[in-house]
Amino acid sequence: MYQETIFSKIIRREIPADIVYQDDLVTAFRDISPQAPIHILIIPNKIIPTVNHVTAEDEQALGHLFVVAAKIVQQEGIDESGYRLIMNCNKDAGQEVFHLHMHLLGGKNLGKLIS
């Protein structure tokens, strides 16, 4: 088993978070340091440190991240205006918590990702 993270505690509701969605596979909650008006993290409930650690048995949960993202953008009213989904892998990409997670960003024009 991989090392526990702060996200593990959020999943188990041991620390407070603004959870917008949770089921048996994934949890989604608002980022405490938002980089856009809407900034939600969607995480698998199983600890997977990085994309490098994904296995075939994770396929259902990781596919479900996108299904949940589609539900959330509709709830947030940004499905038509647009949004960005980002996953960082390891330190050079900016990953800070080593529990795979997808950033859902929207609520404004986000501009180019890379210039």
Residue ranges covered by each domain of the chain: 6-106
- For the segment(s) 6-106, the CATH number from 3.50.50.100, 3.30.428.10, 1.20.140.10, 2.40.50.180 is 3.30.428.10
Catalytic sites, residue numbers: 101
Q: What is the pTM of this model?
A: 0.94
Q: Tokens representing 24? A: 């048996």
The whole-number pLDDT of residue 112 equals 85
pLDDT digits (tens, 9 = 90+) for 87-115: 999 999 999 999 999 999 999 999 887 65
The whole-number pLDDT of residue 114 equals 65
Task: Count how many Cα atoms sit within 13 Å of the Cα of residue 24 in the half-sphere of its side chain.
Answer: 1
pLDDT (average), residues 62-67? 97
| CA distance readout (Å), 26 to 37, 66, 91, 115 | 22, 10, 23, 32
pLDDT digits (tens, 9 = 90+) for 30-64: 999 999 999 999 999 999 999 999 999 999 999 99
